[in-house]
């Protein structure tokens, strides 16, 4: 798969566990071939920022995607999911949907679900995140 990104000066993207930062004075286009997980750095959450159950859940989903290592992060994922449900029982449906995506190998969709949930955290944001993610074909990457 080929991914074409147009990046602004100073903008960064994460490609797997590596960070690519634009050092030029103007925008540049990067063409990435292969299946490496890619996220714009502006959309990522740093571990030090993951201080509450929702942001921690999102961070763990992000790391599963970027490392492509569900098995290695499984214990951390279930801990984060359990803490999120304990703190916000209304997030159970979101966690269940994330579980389905992870089980299907649709890691990007799980990340998107976590990202949208963090933005709102409300019942309406949860429903919108689940509905929007449900509308995206599993396996489609939308960077």
**Mind listing the pLDDT tens digit of every residue in the chain (143 residues)?**
788 999 999 999 999 999 999 999 999 999 999 888 999 998 899 999 999 999 999 999 999 999 999 999 999 999 999 999 999 999 999 999 999 999 999 999 999 998 877 766 555 555 555 555 444 433 344 43
Question: 0.85 exceeded by the pTM?
Answer: no
Backbone angles phi, psi at 51, to 5 degrees: -105, -10
* Closest to 57 in 3D by CA, of 100, 28, 88, 27: 88
* Domain boundaries defined on the chain: 2-41, 45-135
């Amino acid at each position: 798969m080929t991914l074409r990104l147009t990046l602004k000066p100073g903008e960064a993207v994460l490609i797997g566990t590596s960070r690519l930062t634009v050092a030029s004075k103007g925008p540049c286009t990067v063409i990435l071939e292969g299946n490496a997980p890619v996220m714009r750095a502006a959309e990522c959450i740093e571990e030090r920022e993951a201080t509450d159950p929702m942001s921690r859940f999102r961070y763990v989903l992000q790391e599963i995607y970027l490392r492509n290592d569900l098995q290695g992060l499984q214990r951390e994922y279930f801990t984060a999911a359990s803490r999120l449900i304990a703190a916000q029982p209304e997030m159970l449906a979101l966690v269940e949907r994330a579980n389905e995506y992870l089980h299907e190998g649709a890691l990007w969709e799980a990340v998107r679900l976590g990202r949208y949930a963090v933005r709102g955290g409300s019942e309406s944001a949860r429903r919108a995140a689940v509905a929007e993610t449900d509308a995206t074909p599993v396996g489609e990457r939308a960077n």
